[in-house]
Amino acid sequence: MVSSLSSIINPYASMLNSLTALGGGLGGGVAPLAAAPPAGPNFAAILSGNVEAAQAYAFAVDQNGNVNADKAKQKGFGGERLRGGIVTGYAAEFLAGGRLKPNQMPGAVQNLANLPDGPQKTFLLVASRYKNAGGNYNNGKLKQLLIDKGFKDLANKPGVGQNDVETIGAIGEALGAPNSALTLKDVFQGNDKDAVEDDKKYQRAIDAIQAGDFTSSIENGNPNRAAAADKGGNAANAGNAGNAGNAGGAKAAATPSPAAAPSPLAAGAPGGMMGMILQLLSAIMPLLQAMLGGGGAGAFSNSLATPKAVGGNAGNAGNAGNAGNAGNAGNAGNAGNAGNAAAVVQKAPAAAAGGGGGY
């Protein structure tokens, strides 16, 4: 039976080697396979989902910005749900330039959601997150920043330079102006020259908003959900479960094979129909090889620059699971590797704030 399977596998292995070599010679004529860029948070959806909680905030807040938690509970909101409403409602008030009543909140939140994802929306949300966590700006410095950047009309509005809502709203409006001379980096420089009084808390507010997190506590440490971004894209490591099969080859001495064409899953591999064929064959061949106990189709393994194990190969049947490693940033070439003791996981970048970014 093994001989029969080998006679079936070997022609396909030769075909894969030929296709891989052909793909390597196609140069720039075939587009490489590329992963889609990570999408940022859907702020419009988050804000729309917080409208009722924002109304509860408007019902419970006084003119000084103090929220009566007992009044909010009368509307059915508390804890993280209320915090999401406060962050949403406060940002909507910044945009409106003053305190809002509960019946005004839905329209104001919609206006906020309708802003393009950019510096103005990013700033209003970060400012709301920061203020809700007890952070403060030097409003006098923010007013002077408006003057320095040519926005004297906004700087001269009532309350600007004194009150948070009016001052932050004016900064947001300046950031949203066409070809604005004011940038997010002017507001937050991470030193004593800017108007932000708690740099660490402000950075936590930025991290939370960029993660789409409106609800966790950032008063004294990393936001619960945003902190998860620090761990990188480990979800792709699910394929590493197959590495358990490497136990049998742990003591095997490996010698490198000659340089060969890159893995069909590696960066720069051919795309289109050629890429689809190579990916399909790459997925099938390790499974067939595993059925043979690692025998046959040796040319296929060599074409992926696989270390050739000397002894102990019985344990390598588990390598079929290595196909999952294709998801690891930078590790695409690991598909088909025999005898790798551990996969290298690269830290994934944090998601951008819906294209708004700038901090």
Better-scored residue on pLDDT, 117 or 34: 117
Both 240 and 227 in one domain: the answer is no
Crossing angle for the helix pair 79-96 and 105-114, to the nearest 10 degrees = 80
User: What does the pLDDT read at residue 50?
Assistant: 97
Question: Which range of residues forms the domain containing residue 97?
Answer: 43-231
**Beta-sheet strands, E only, within 176-232:** none
| pLDDT per residue as tens digits for the range 74-116 | 999 999 999 999 999 999 999 999 999 999 999 999 999 999 9
Let me know the angle formed at the C-alpha of 48 by 212 and 116, rounded to the nearest 5 degrees: 65
Per-residue pLDDT band for 171 (boundaries 50, 70, 90) equals very high
The first and second tokens of residue 340, run together, are: 């790798």
Crossing angle for the helix pair 164-175 and 79-96, to the nearest 10 degrees = 70
Both 205 and 173 in one domain: the answer is yes
Is the model's pLDDT at 149 over the cut of 90? yes
User: What does the pLDDT read at residue 40?
Assistant: 81
Per-residue pLDDT band for 63 (boundaries 50, 70, 90) equals confident
Better-scored residue on pLDDT, 2 or 317: 2
Residue at which a domain ends, from 208, 231, 254: 231
User: What does the pLDDT read at residue 273?
Assistant: 56
The first and second tokens of residue 135, run together, are: 């952070």
Better-scored residue on pLDDT, 221 or 319: 221
Average pLDDT over residues 191-210: 96
Among 304, 297, 323, smallest CA distance to 257 is for 304
Both 56 and 197 in one domain: the answer is yes
Both 100 and 55 in one domain: the answer is yes
Residue at which a domain ends, from 231, 258, 281: 231
339 assigned to some structural domain: no
How deeply is 57 buried, as exposed, middle or buried, from its count of CB atoms within 10 A (0-12, 13-18, 19+)?
buried
Percent of the residues in the chain that have a pLDDT greater than 70, as a whole number = 51
Per-residue pLDDT band for 349 (boundaries 50, 70, 90) equals very low
Q: How far apart are CA 291 and CA 4, in angstroms?
A: 12
Better-scored residue on pLDDT, 239 or 216: 216
Among 47, 69, 49, smallest CA distance to 59 is for 69
Q: How far apart are CA 354 and CA 40, in angstroms?
A: 4
Better-scored residue on pLDDT, 7 or 201: 201
Both 181 and 65 in one domain: the answer is yes
Both 255 and 329 in one domain: the answer is yes
How many CB atoms sit inside 10 A of residue 103's CB? 9
Locate all alpha helices (DSSP H) within the chain, ordered by sequence: 2-24, 43-49, 51-60, 69-74, 79-96, 105-114, 119-132, 139-148, 152-155, 164-175, 184-187, 199-210, 272-291, 298-303
How deeply is 114 buried, as exposed, middle or buried, from its count of CB atoms within 10 A (0-12, 13-18, 19+)?
exposed
Q: How far apart are CA 213 and CA 204, in angstroms?
A: 11
128 assigned to some structural domain: yes
Torsions phi, psi of 34, nearest 5? -135, 140
Helix (H, G, I), strand (E, B) or coil at 121: helix
Both 23 and 122 in one domain: the answer is no
Is the model's pLDDT at 222 over the cut of 50? yes
User: What does the pLDDT read at residue 165?
Assistant: 94
User: What does the pLDDT read at residue 291?
Assistant: 57
Q: Is the pTM of this model over 0.85?
A: no
Q: How many domains does the chain have?
A: 2
Both 241 and 257 in one domain: the answer is yes
Both 186 and 293 in one domain: the answer is no
Specify the DSSP element, H or E, that contains 253. strand 253-255
Per-residue pLDDT band for 277 (boundaries 50, 70, 90) equals low
| pLDDT per residue as tens digits for the range 37-60 | 556 899 999 999 999 999 999 999
Q: Are 184 and 175 in contact (CB under 8 A)?
A: yes
Among 219, 220, 196, 206, smallest CA distance to 83 is for 219
Q: 127-136, 198-207, 295-304: which has the minimum mean pLDDT?
A: 295-304
Is the model's pLDDT at 335 over the cut of 70? no
Both 263 and 215 in one domain: the answer is no
Q: Are 66 and 131 in contact (CB under 8 A)?
A: no
349 assigned to some structural domain: no
End-to-end Cα separation, the chain, in angstroms: 63
Per-residue pLDDT band for 266 (boundaries 50, 70, 90) equals very low
Both 266 and 302 in one domain: the answer is yes
How many CB atoms sit inside 10 A of residue 157's CB? 17
Let me know the angle formed at the C-alpha of 264 by 259 and 269, rounded to the nearest 5 degrees: 90
Among 173, 181, 187, smallest CA distance to 115 is for 173
Is the model's pLDDT at 247 over the cut of 60? no
